Amino acid sequence: MSRQSNRATDSKKMNSELFTLTYGALVTQLCKDYENDEEVNKQLDKMGYNIGVRLIEDFLARSSIGRCQDFRETADVIAKVAFKMYLGITPSVTNWSPAGDEFSLILENNPLVDFVELPDNHSALIYSNLLCGVLRGALEMVQMAVDVKFAQDTLRGDSVTEIRMKFIKRIEENLPAGDD
Least separation in angstroms between CB 51 and other proteins: 4
Least separation in angstroms between CB 128 and other proteins: 13
- Give the DSSP per-residue string, 70-134: SHHHHHHIIIIIIHHHHHS--PEEE---TTSSEEEEEESS-GGGTT----GGGTT--TTTHHHHH
Residues 96-125 close enough to bind other proteins by CB under 8 A: 115
Least separation in angstroms between CB 93 and other proteins: 21
Which of 7/170 has CB closer to other proteins? 7
Which of 33/76 has CB closer to other proteins? 33
The SS3 of residue 178 is: coil
* 170 within 8 A of 144, measured Cβ to Cβ: yes
Least separation in angstroms between CB 159 and other proteins: 26
Residue closest to 163 by CA, chosen among 71, 69, 81, 91: 91
One character per residue 24-53, x = contact with other proteins (rule: CB under 8 A): xxx-xxx--x---------x---x--xx--
